[in-house]
């Protein structure tokens, strides 16, 4: 079969070759053109800038690299080297490579819309590009100045576009609305994609994916790759979103919102319906998403289900995970939220001493927006040495959560110090108890578990519009407290929570943070992998307030008007114990002061003249822990 680089010639021979490759009016007037349409049996072909790896010449007005596949193919471009002089941030002048991705044929003219301009180094560009049709064009320009930049080189290959076909039924008279029904005539699993995937999705698009299982079935979704907009902005401020609703329509509760980049993100419905909405309104669309779905019987409580590899293939796990009634050893337990929403787990023989050389696994599986929270009641494990705080080579209990398609350890507990509460980042959590030794004085551990939808936050009114959002209304309470998910334990990873404060006319909100430990370094941006807390007088981002992260002393924040927003966002890296804060609605003319009470360690907060609100922080911690 065909497939090789049709031509790769020195620049001084280009004019001679153009006699055979220019397609008269099908290309931009005045452009020279190289056509790549075959690899002659090789997996990939090669393309290069003129004179590469030597510096490219100046005054290249318009050189087209045209890639043409058959009607059932798309093109993949992979840049191996890229060094094009960058004279400005948007690459619009000087030296640049203009990219045309959405062509059914390899033809462009001066009116053909392009997708992006590339310049700078390899780190400045997307190294892999895909066409949405059978044509792709790169248009190269260099300025009048001679430079030492070497240009670019890369590979191209042709891919069967049917590998990215959504398995659902496309609804009539829609661009990208699909329905997936479980039946005897359809597969119980499949794939679905954003429009044009793996190329960039169109601007100003709205797609829906409706899943309907049969009676006593559930839906499992895995977003294998998500590439919307880069950065760490809150999903409140994103133009491109994926929203997952636990029901038939967008009026049902939202259980997951995706707006950035990620891999192997899992969603499990609570019932037989699931609705996914994809919205793309940004000026610079990303690659989109690819996802797999599976209809599962409700009695199928497997922790790991079918694993998907490359498009179009399915492989089963190497070993079947147990149901709730099954165990892999005498002390392994698998707990599903269908069976119990809360309960107790203990080490073997508790409260008697546990045996030596024992490994026990406690695996939890929730649904919808449920998170697993573990609160320890008793903890007493044998320590072979007293001079180390590490749990290596000790009797220990380890906690694992699901990150990037694998179970990753987030903490280890050993000794006799009662651990703080633990919370999962999604519907799964695993605890693994390992005893290397035995002691007649070590009774093990006891803990309660709960599948919770409120992220461990018990103040305010939870909103169904977001997975984690709480309202604090002045009409309901003029003052109170709020805190991060799972406080005072480590907050869960990959979590975004919003706290909305609504005052009456001529009121403002005053916040006092008593405790603050959010992993990150200033200015709390994605480049430093920082979690953060953000403040705003609007739903949109407010430049007046800087982000807060790190370990901070007590501080105050005040709104300008009656509405105020606090957003907490964590990534999938490290953990902190979060924050604990009080709020108070004040008239605009009122002032706020805080004075420490030296007699009992409390803090007197002075609001209206002659009115004192006393918050005893020790009692707050007791309330939160309970």
Condensed to tens digits (0 to 9), the pLDDT of residues 325-335 reads 333 457 899 99
Looking at residue 2, its pLDDT comes to: 41
Structural domain contains residue 411 = yes
pLDDT category of residue 563 using cuts at 50, 70 and 90: very high
Structural domain contains residue 16 = yes
Same domain, 477 and 618: yes
**pLDDT of 39 higher than 70:** yes
Let me know: does 219 contact 274? Beta carbons within 8 Å. yes
Selection from 106, 368, 102 nearest residue 220 by Cα: 368
Looking at residue 572, its pLDDT comes to: 86
Looking at residue 387, its pLDDT comes to: 60
Condensed to tens digits (0 to 9), the pLDDT of residues 375-418 reads 999 999 998 876 666 888 899 999 999 888 888 999 999 999 99
Structural domain contains residue 183 = yes
Separation CA 225–CA 255 (nearest Å):
18
pLDDT category of residue 28 using cuts at 50, 70 and 90: low
Same domain, 158 and 172: no
Of 162, 179, 205, which residue is a domain's last? 162
Structural domain contains residue 21 = yes
Kindly give, in sequence order, each residue whose CB lies less than 8 Å from that of residue 623, ignoring residues fewer than 6 positions away: none
Same domain, 535 and 400: no
Looking at residue 616, its pLDDT comes to: 37
Selection from 361, 316, 367 nearest residue 341 by Cα: 367
**pLDDT of 23 higher than 90:** no
Same domain, 52 and 135: yes
Selection from 591, 605, 517, 524 nearest residue 553 by Cα: 517
pLDDT category of residue 441 using cuts at 50, 70 and 90: confident
**pLDDT of 302 higher than 80:** no
Condensed to tens digits (0 to 9), the pLDDT of residues 224-243 reads 999 998 777 889 889 999 99
For 14, phi then psi, to 5°, come to: -60, -45
**pLDDT of 322 higher than 50:** no
When divided into structural domains, the chain yields a total of: 4
pLDDT category of residue 312 using cuts at 50, 70 and 90: very low
**Cα of 619 vs its chain's centroid, Å:** 36
Looking at residue 187, its pLDDT comes to: 86
Same domain, 389 and 404: yes
Let me know: does 198 contact 290? Beta carbons within 8 Å. yes
pLDDT category of residue 89 using cuts at 50, 70 and 90: confident
Kindly give, in sequence order, each residue whose CB lies less than 8 Å from that of residue 390, ignoring residues fewer than 6 positions away: none
Let me know: does 213 contact 273? Beta carbons within 8 Å. yes
User: What is the mean pLDDT of the segment spanning 448-474?
Assistant: 96
**pLDDT of 303 higher than 90:** no
User: What is the mean pLDDT of the segment spanning 478-505?
Assistant: 96
Among 153-157, 244-248, 539-543, the range scoring the smallest mean pLDDT is: 539-543
Of 393, 426, 452, which residue is a domain's last? 452
**pLDDT of 445 higher than 50:** yes
User: What is the mean pLDDT of the segment spanning 36-63?
Assistant: 93
Average pLDDT of the residues of the chain = 85
| 14 token code pair | 């280009």
pLDDT category of residue 591 using cuts at 50, 70 and 90: low
Structural domain contains residue 355 = yes
Same domain, 378 and 466: no
Of 300, 319, 353, which residue is a domain's last? 300
Same domain, 122 and 257: no
Looking at residue 88, its pLDDT comes to: 84
Instruction: Give the domain range for residue 469.
Output: 461-625
Selection from 378, 375, 374, 391 nearest residue 429 by Cα: 374
Structural domain contains residue 308 = no
Residue bearing the bigger pLDDT, 594 or 323: 594
Separation CA 220–CA 427 (nearest Å):
11
pLDDT category of residue 564 using cuts at 50, 70 and 90: very high
Looking at residue 386, its pLDDT comes to: 64
Q: How much of the chain, in percent, has pLDDT values that exceed 70? A: 84
Going by their DSSP bridges, the two strands 151-160 and 116-118 should be labelled as unpaired
Same domain, 186 and 289: yes
Looking at residue 66, its pLDDT comes to: 96
Looking at residue 481, its pLDDT comes to: 97
**Sheet strand arrangement including 603-606:** 593-596, 603-606, 612-615
Let me know: does 495 contact 468? Beta carbons within 8 Å. yes
Condensed to tens digits (0 to 9), the pLDDT of residues 157-188 reads 999 999 999 999 999 999 999 999 999 888 89
Separation CA 607–CA 585 (nearest Å):
9
Condensed to tens digits (0 to 9), the pLDDT of residues 256-300 reads 999 988 888 999 999 999 999 999 998 889 999 999 999 999 865
Looking at residue 606, its pLDDT comes to: 35
Kindly give, in sequence order, each residue whose CB lies less than 8 Å from that of residue 326, ignoring residues fewer than 6 positions away: 334
Looking at residue 41, its pLDDT comes to: 82
**pLDDT of 115 higher than 70:** yes
Looking at residue 29, its pLDDT comes to: 62
**pLDDT of 94 higher than 50:** yes
**pLDDT of 374 higher than 90:** yes
Condensed to tens digits (0 to 9), the pLDDT of residues 63-83 reads 999 999 999 999 999 999 999
Residue bearing the bigger pLDDT, 443 or 28: 443
Structural domain contains residue 473 = yes
Separation CA 437–CA 232 (nearest Å):
45
537: domain CATH number is 2.60.120.290
* DSSP state at residue 39: -
Structural domain contains residue 575 = yes
User: What is the mean pLDDT of the segment spanning 409-428?
Assistant: 94
Looking at residue 560, its pLDDT comes to: 94
Separation CA 216–CA 404 (nearest Å):
29
Same domain, 83 and 132: yes
Separation CA 258–CA 235 (nearest Å):
7
Going by their DSSP bridges, the two strands 358-365 and 333-336 should be labelled as parallel
Same domain, 289 and 338: no
Same domain, 467 and 603: yes
CA distances from 224 to 75, 262, 393, 540 (A): 21, 8, 36, 29
pLDDT category of residue 593 using cuts at 50, 70 and 90: low
Q: What is the DSSP string of 298-337?
A: TT---SS--EE-STT-EE--SSPPP-TT--SSTT-EEEET
**In DSSP terms, which residues pair with 219 in a beta bridge?**
295
**164-168 contacts at long range (C-beta below 8 A, 24 or more positions apart):** 164/74, 164/191, 164/193, 164/197, 164/198, 164/290, 164/311, 165/191, 166/191, 166/192, 166/193, 167/191, 167/192, 168/192, 168/209
Separation CA 570–CA 579 (nearest Å):
13
Same domain, 513 and 614: yes
User: What is the mean pLDDT of the segment spanning 120-145?
Assistant: 94
């Amino acid at each position: 079969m065909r497939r090789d680089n049709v031509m790769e010639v020195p620049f001084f021979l280009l004019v001679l070759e153009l006699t055979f490759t220019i397609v008269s009016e099908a290309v931009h007037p005045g452009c020279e053109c190289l056509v790549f349409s075959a690899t002659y049996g090789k997996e990939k072909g090669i393309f290069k800038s003129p004179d590469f790896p030597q510096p490219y010449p100046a005054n290249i007005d318009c050189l087209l690299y045209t890639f043409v596949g058959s009607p059932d193919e798309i093109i993949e471009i992979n840049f191996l080297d890229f060094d094009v002089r960058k004279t400005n941030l948007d690459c619009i002048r000087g030296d640049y490579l203009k990219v045309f991705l959405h062509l059914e044929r390899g033809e462009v003219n001066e009116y053909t819309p392009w997708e992006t301009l590339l310049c700078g180094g390899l780190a400045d560009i997307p190294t892999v590009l895909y066409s949405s049709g059978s044509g792709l064009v790169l248009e190269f320009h260099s300025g009048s100045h001679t430079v030492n930049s070497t240009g670019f080189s890369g590979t191209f290959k042709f891919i069967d576009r049917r590998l990215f076909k959504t398995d659902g039924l496309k609804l009539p008279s829609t661009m990208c609305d699909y329905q997936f029904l479980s039946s005897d005539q359809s597969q119980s699993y499949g794939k679905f994609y954003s429009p044009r995937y793996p190329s960039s999705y169109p601007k100003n698009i709205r797609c829906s994916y409706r899943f309907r299982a049969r009676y006593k079935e559930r839906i499992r979704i895995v977003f294998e790759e998500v590439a919307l907009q880069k950065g760490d902005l809150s999903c409140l401020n994103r133009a491109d979103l994926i929203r997952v609703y636990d029901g038939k329509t967008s009026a049902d509760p939202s259980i997951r919102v995706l707006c950035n980049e990620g891999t192997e993100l899992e969603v499990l419905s609570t019932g037989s319906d699931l609705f996914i909405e994809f919205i793309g309104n940004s000026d610079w669309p990303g690659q989109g998403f690819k996802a797999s779905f599976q209809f599962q019987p409700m009695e199928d409580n497997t922790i790991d289900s079918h694993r998907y590899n490359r498009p179009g293939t399915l492989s089963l796990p190497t070993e079947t995970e147990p149901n709730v009634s099954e165990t892999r050893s005498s002390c392994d337990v698998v707990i599903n939220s269908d069976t119990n929403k809360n309960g107790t787990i203990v080490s073997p023989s508790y409260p008697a001493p546990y045996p030596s050389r024992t490994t026990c696994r406690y695996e939890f599986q929730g649904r919808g927006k449920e998170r697993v929270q573990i609160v320890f009641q008793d903890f007493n494990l044998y320590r072979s040495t007293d001079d180390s705080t590490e749990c290596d080579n000790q009797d220990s209990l380890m906690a694992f959560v699901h990150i990037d398609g694998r179970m990753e350890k987030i903490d280890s507990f050993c000794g006799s110090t009662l651990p703080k509460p633990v919370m999962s980042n999604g519907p799964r959590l695993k605890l693994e108890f390992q005893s290397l030794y035995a002691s007649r004085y070590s009774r093990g551990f006891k803990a309660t578990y709960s599948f919770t939808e409120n992220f461990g936050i018990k103040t305010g009114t939870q909103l169904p519009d977001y997975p984690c959002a709480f309202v604090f209304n002045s009409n309901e309470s003029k003052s109170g407290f709020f805190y991060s998910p799972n406080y005072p334990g480590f907050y869960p990873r990959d979590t975004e929570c919003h706290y909305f404060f609504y005052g009456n006319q001529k009121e403002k909100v005053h916040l006092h943070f008593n405790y603050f430990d959010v992993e990150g370094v200033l200015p709390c941006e994605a480049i430093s992998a920082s979690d953060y807390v953000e403040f705003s007088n609007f739903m949109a981002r407010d430049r007046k307030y800087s982000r807060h992260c790190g370990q901070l002393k007590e501080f105050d924040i005040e709104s300008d008007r009656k509405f105020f927003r606090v957003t907490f966002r964590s990534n999938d890296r490290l953990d902190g114990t979060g924050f604990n804060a009080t709020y108070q609605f004040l008239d605009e003319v009122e002032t706020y002061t805080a004075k420490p009470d030296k007699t009992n360690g409390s803090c007197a907060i002075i609001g209206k003249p002659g009115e004192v609100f006393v918050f005893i922080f020790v009692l707050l911690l007791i309330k939160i822990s309970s």
